[in-house]
Amino acid sequence: MNANRKISDTGQKPGIPQKNVSRHGKLTAVSMMKDEGPYLLEWVAHHIAVGFTDLVVYTNDCSDGTDDMLIRLQELGLVQHRRNDIPEGMKPQPSALKYAQNEPEVGNSDWIMVFDADEFLCIRPGGGTLDTLIDGIKAAGANGMVITWRIFGSGGVVNWSRDPVSEQYLMAAPQMWNKGWGVKTLFQFDPDKWNLGIHRPKLKNKVLDTGFPETVIWLNGSGREMEEYFKFRGWRSIVRTIGYDWAQINHYAVKSVDSYAIRKFRGNVNNKADKYNDDYWSLQDRNEVRDDTMLRYSARRSEIVAGLLSDQALNRLHFAALERAEARLKSFKSTSEYAEFAQKLSIASAVPISQVEAKPPKARDPAGIATKMGDVEKRTGDKRLQQQAKPPQDRVVLPLDNLVRGAVDTSAEVPLEWHANHALSLPADPRIFTPPALLSIEAGKYDRNLARNAAALLGRGARYLELGATTGFLAGQVMRVRPDAEITLVQSDPGWQDAVRMILRYNGIELPVQGGIADMAAIRPDLLVIGDAAITPDHLKNIMQAHIPHTIILTGLLWSERHSELDAFARVAADAGLTLRLPLDPQLSAAFRAGFDDA
């Protein structure tokens, strides 16, 4: 049912939804809101659809009926509404969380997650339900999950619409864009041990030197165990902890230009001065990659919204909130101020993602943090130092993940910065490259070791074959330095094919990318570069039955994902007569060559 239709237009009325029941007990979403009337029912319906059994919402200074809507939802048994009476000198969010800490409806919860009104939990496995997610968390022996934001932009939408937010805005930041890595934490709650926080809870001082911290095991959004430090501090993911395979927080901070205008003159729940300006828009209006995972909830969410609108009082309040917002927007759009505002946002949208700044709330103070660290946290840090103190031969050199894993989509035309790297230019594009790779690209040093040495491994007129081409960088570099070489690129994944073509095209290089399986007997490469993570040592052995190249380089996604199988690859190479291990950077690649040079 369309939430834009009033109850008199709906025909047969669906019933008010029933409160959820979970096999994991009481699952509570805590939020704080101010003037969210136009969006409230969608947020409530979505989190009922996800599987929360309880919703507790604090409001302050509402002028659009948000609080009245929540009161009615409480009367219907679906939400608990609480007033956020803010003490002088305190901001709204900390005030609400202080109240929530002592609220019985929160305190007797089994699992808790704190949300803003523009944040929607999105779960990927199974049917996308909270019960399924908690099943996975418990199966891993954990008691919480640190779930990272995925920033969703305007998608180029300018005008106001009553359509659901989660259906209008399907363009998002790349997963590896680290300026959008704020987190929210789903965790088992004990008010005697935890203080609630907007991003993650904090251990109470009285439990720091007990055995309790050792029992805290949190996973990241891909189901991998979080690092120890996050038990004690931090509010965002880092390269080592990022993950979206199981869950993400869809963060709709800007929506359309018109919606952003409404938020600007409405104010915000945390009283941040001039928050809704063009700098904030530039940060949040990220539209590089399509992500429509949320559409899995559309049918159930729409059903719940229709049921809510079957209540006469809630129906009246909902449409009154919409009409009030639209009247205020109409008044604002008739002014010259709106035209100037919209123009600034248009300019901000054109800022390349690599130039966007994310200004921290305050400067980091390492000395101050160290002073505040408790003994338990220091002991945790000491474990890492002990590992770093080991002799090099006892430490494993892990591969440097330069390329994103999973699906790659470069189809959206977005502004990008390009940087000279050796003989080519590369884009500062987090749809393709990880944060460490972006830093090396900006410095002009991407895959420097390989770029400097690959061409020297080829004799005149030699043949170069790359299986699993991802960026085309190494092949393009070889082509520029050795135009006499015969180069063949093979990549079966359409997303990576597009990425290779985009980079080569920008550099003016005409080099086709083949799909399917390479014919080794026909190509007979002298240098075989393998970046396809699907190729195992056994696959390599089969490949070389048709032809043995003089040199093999393992790199890219294969090196990132199969680094632990190096010994097996080395045995296959040695059996084929490639016994010489070349001294390339072990973070980027491994290379094997025949013990003689007949090139």
The CATH number linked to 581 is: 3.40.50.150
Residue 329 lies in a domain: yes
| Residues 61 and 166 both lie in one domain | yes
What is the amino acid identity at position 110? D
CA distance 442 to 417: 9
Q: CB of 196 within 8 A of CB of 114?
A: yes
Residue 389 lies in a domain: no
- Position 512 scores a pLDDT of 92
Distance of CA 3 to the CA centre of its chain: 29
Distance of CA 553 to the CA centre of its chain: 31
Q: CB of 290 within 8 A of CB of 172?
A: yes
Which DSSP letter does residue 83 get? E
| Residues 339 and 426 both lie in one domain | no
- Tens-level pLDDT at each residue, the chain (599 residues): 345 544 334 444 578 999 999 999 999 999 999 999 999 999 999 999 999 999 999 999 999 999 999 999 999 999 999 999 999 999 999 999 999 999 999 999 999 999 999 999 999 998 999 999 999 999 999 999 999 999 999 999 999 999 999 999 999 999 989 899 999 999 999 999 999 999 999 999 999 999 999 999 999 999 999 988 888 888 999 888 899 999 999 999 999 999 999 887 764 444 455 567 889 999 999 999 999 999 999 999 999 999 999 999 999 999 999 999 999 999 989 888 899 999 999 999 999 998 998 765 555 555 654 555 555 555 555 555 554 555 443 444 677 889 998 889 999 999 999 999 999 999 999 999 998 899 899 999 999 888 888 888 888 889 999 999 999 999 999 999 999 999 999 999 999 999 999 999 999 999 999 998 899 999 999 999 999 999 999 999 999 999 999 999 999 999 999 999 999 999 999 999 999 999 888 888 999 999 754 44
- Position 264 scores a pLDDT of 79
- Position 387 scores a pLDDT of 47
| Residues 543 and 468 both lie in one domain | yes
Full-prediction pTM beyond 0.85?
no
- Position 357 scores a pLDDT of 82
Letter string b/e over residues 167-185, b meaning 16 or more CB atoms within 10 A of that residue's CB: bbbbbbbbbbbbbbbbbbb
Q: CB of 239 within 8 A of CB of 140?
A: no
What is the amino acid identity at position 323? E
Tell the residue number behind the tokens 């800022």, with chain if given. Answer: 351
| Residues 315 and 438 both lie in one domain | no
| Residues 35 and 153 both lie in one domain | yes
Query: Of the candidates 100, 92, 91, which has an alpha carbon nearest to the alpha carbon of residue 191?
Result: 100
- Position 375 scores a pLDDT of 56
| Residues 444 and 296 both lie in one domain | no
CA distance 235 to 88: 26
Q: Which of 311, 327, 355 is the last residue of a domain?
A: 355
Terminal CA-CA length for the chain = 70
CA distance 428 to 443: 11
- Position 11 scores a pLDDT of 44
Residue 42 lies in a domain: yes
CA distance 189 to 181: 24
Q: How far is CA 313 from CA 70, 82, 515, in A?
A: 11, 19, 59
| Residues 425 and 276 both lie in one domain | no
Residue 5 lies in a domain: no
Residue 395 lies in a domain: no
Q: Which of 339, 355, 371 is the last residue of a domain?
A: 355
Q: What is the DSSP string of 171-209?
A: EE--TT-GGG-BEEEEEE--TTTEE--SSS-EE-HHHHT
Decide the pairing of beta strands 486-490 and 463-467: parallel
Max intra-chain CA distance, the chain = 86
CA distance 280 to 274: 9
Residue 387 lies in a domain: no
Alpha-carbon Rg for the chain in angstroms: 27
Q: Per the structure, how many domains does the chain have? A: 2
- Position 80 scores a pLDDT of 98
CA distance 188 to 192: 12
- Position 1 scores a pLDDT of 39
What is the token pair recorded at 299?
């049918």
- Position 8 scores a pLDDT of 37
| Residues 320 and 427 both lie in one domain | no
CA distance 499 to 532: 15
Residue 405 lies in a domain: no
Q: Which of 313, 338, 355 is the last residue of a domain?
A: 355
Query: Of the candidates 53, 194, 58, 37, which has an alpha carbon nearest to the alpha carbon of residue 115?
Result: 58
CA distance 552 to 382: 40
| Residues 430 and 307 both lie in one domain | no
Q: CB of 183 within 8 A of CB of 283?
A: no
Residue 535 lies in a domain: yes
Mark out the alpha helices in 524-565 (DSSP H runs).
Answer: 537-543, 556-562
Domain range for 454 = 418-593
- Position 364 scores a pLDDT of 55
How open is the CA angle 92-93-98, to the nearest 5 degrees? 100
CA distance 388 to 309: 60
| Residues 351 and 440 both lie in one domain | no
Q: CB of 45 within 8 A of CB of 121?
A: no
| Residues 431 and 341 both lie in one domain | no
Letter string b/e over residues 438-474, b meaning 16 or more CB atoms within 10 A of that residue's CB: bebbeeeebbeebbebbbebbbeebbbbbbbbbbbbb
What is the amino acid identity at position 201? P
| Residues 155 and 275 both lie in one domain | yes
- Position 252 scores a pLDDT of 97
